Chain A
Amino acid sequence: MIDRLVAFSEARYTRLVLVGLIFLGLQTTLFNEMRPFGVCLQVMVLLAAASGLARGSEAGAIAGFIVGLLYDMVLTTPMGLCAAVFAIIGYLAGYAHSFVHESTWWSRMILGAAASGMGMVLLPIAFAITGTDGLFTTHIFVVVLVVAIFNGLLSVPAELICRWALREPAAVR
């Protein structure tokens, strides 16, 4: 029983959930208050993109889904919507990264920024599909730009955290 619990706690997605909870705490407190240019910075989408960059498209999609589901828990939007969008972001980030021949820190920053910006475009589209109107305004461009720049800057440390969280259990020790 204890072995199973230890094995569960060492599972990579368990670690991701714990990291996700910390990021969610930061999202709902610090980044909710800091709003440069009136934009709420989105570290949850950064986590999804960084997972894809760290561990490839498949792990990125699953990690993005888990992170999005955590985010859905605190939002009033339909449950599963952010999960779906973040899964796409995680997948795309990992897929795009697979085309980079020799990955450097700046290539990861660019991919992290691009994936985050795409997430900010896909979110209102997903909201519109589920029946929310009035989201397509010029403010989206500001949101995309600010979130992309901020997440681009933080994508390298975020990728390191995701690389640790999504490591195989044996390799953690």
Chain B
Amino acid sequence: MAASPFTRRRAILLLSLTSVILITLDLRGSALVNFTRSAFGVVFRPIESATRVVTRPIENTWHGITNYNDVVKENKRLRDLVAYGQGSTIAAVASVREAQELLALNGLPTLAGISSCTAQVVGQSPSNYSQTVEINRGSECGVKVGMPVLNAAGLVGKVTKVYVRRSVVMMATDPNYSLAVKVVNVPPTTTTTTVPLAPGETSTTTSSTTTTTTTTTTTTTSTIPGFKAGSTVPTASTAAPLPGESVPTGTVGPNQPGKNTKSPITVPAGIDLPLRETGALEGRGLGKAPIVRFVENQPRFGEVFVGSPVITAGGATSLAPPDVVVGYVSRVVKRTGTLGPILEVKLSASLDNLNFVRILLYQPSTERTATP
């Protein structure tokens, strides 16, 4: 009996040491730990599948009891949405095709040019504290760690672990998730309604900020004297015409050195386009909207408005290609001084109801290994 306290102490010390060693090894990305997890996954998969088959009736009973009313309501709502969506799909497809053609015409990368792998979500994390889902595609499909995962609505997250036939996806709301994004600042449209005047009556103009009405007016003021945004302005050369040379008027052609020209100067409609500013999207955990930090407080960019779209920024080091839809700004938290605002983002993709997702087989140029 005298040896009992010593044994107990030794056992507890051994357990503590083992835990610390394992945590350290895993945090340092040990291949041994990854291999062990992978091997355990292979052994455990049949047990899990068998348990799933056995427990499915209980699961179905549970869902039948707890979710029946919600399913009926959702079904009605989805029918309405389908009817509404069918009309707008045709217009949207045409717009997307047009945009892709324009981007391809200008040699810009498009999402259509990136291969992808479609997968189904087969499980979520059994923990209450991590936000990951498991999908049924892995390295056999070309999936690699870091690749972006989307669904039909927008960005879902990124791949964090890859096995042969399954992968683990960290969702965009996870506190460890971060990604470079662009905020497209779209100011609310101003609607001007002019009341028809009766004879002898003074004019009355009412303005409101709404996006639901169909008549929108945007006022553009150019700071370049004599120039109008989006217009082509004919200008005269400062060089005087040569003696005996006739000056064609109103013709457009290539400029000749030493000769006067009447070539127009095109001022692009840049002022009308929405401005973009980059920032870093960061997850904040369960039940909290992700935020965008490091948006600069620039007068040119102006005030960020609620509802402004947030899309991925892309770039040489970013794990996602540019222009993947992330969501929209749901709240703007202003900060004093030169610190830019913190923007809360409502994700387009509903992370609670994931089924089919698409993994973009995309790696940034800094991650690509050089081919011999």
Contact = CB atoms under 8 A, between A and B. Distances in A.
B126 A78 contact: no
A80 B19 contact: yes
B15 A61 contact: yes
Interface of A: 21-22, 24-34, 36, 39-40, 42, 57-58, 61-62, 65, 69, 72-81, 83-84, 87, 91, 120, 123-124, 127, 130-135, 137, 139, 143
Given A76-B168, A80-B26, A133-B175, A31 B126 contact: yes
- With a 10 A CB-CB cut-off, give which of B7, B48, B283, B288 has the most chain A CB atoms: B48
A87 to B, nearest CB: 5
B48 A28 contact: yes
B284 A134 contact: yes
Contacts of B52: 25, 29
Contacts of A132: 129-130, 175-176
Contacts of A87: 12, 15, 19
Nearest to A31: B126
Given A137-B285, A137-B288, A78 B26 contact: yes
A73 B36 contact: yes
Contacts of A91: 12
Interface of B: 7-8, 11-12, 15-16, 18-23, 25-27, 33, 36-37, 40-41, 44, 47-48, 50-52, 55, 58-59, 62-63, 66, 123-130, 132, 160-161, 168, 170, 175-176, 283-288
Contacts of A31: 126
Contacts of B18: 65, 80, 83
Contacts of A24: 44, 47-48
Contacts of B15: 61-62, 65, 83-84, 87
Contact of A75 (B11, B19, B127): B127
B48 A130 contact: no
Given A32-B126, A84-B19, A26 B285 contact: no
Contacts of B41: 73-74
B132 A76 contact: yes
Given A40-B127, A74-B126, A30 B286 contact: no
B11 A61 contact: yes
Contact of B175 (A75, A77, A134): A134
A114 B175 CA distance: 29
A90 B41 CA distance: 25
A28 B286 contact: no
A123 B58 CA distance: 28
B41 to A, nearest CB: 7
A28 B126 contact: yes
Given A33-B63, A132-B175, A26 B128 contact: no
B37 A26 contact: no
A102 to B, nearest CB: 24
B37 A79 contact: yes
B160 A27 contact: no
Given A30-B59, A139-B287, A76 B23 contact: no
A127 B126 contact: no
A131 B28 CA distance: 13
Nearest to B55: A30
B127 A21 contact: no
Contact of B22 (A57, A80, A139): A80
A25 B48 CA distance: 5
Given A22-B51, A30-B51, A123-B129, A73 B59 contact: no
A39 B48 contact: no
A21 B47 contact: yes
A6 to B, nearest CB: 21
29 contacts: A21-B44, A21-B47, A25-B47, A25-B48, A25-B50, A25-B52, A28-B48, A29-B48, A29-B52, A29-B59, A40-B128, A42-B128, A73-B37, A75-B125, A75-B127, A76-B130, A76-B160, A77-B129, A79-B22, A80-B20, A84-B15, A87-B12, A91-B12, A123-B127, A127-B129, A131-B27, A134-B284, A137-B286, A139-B286
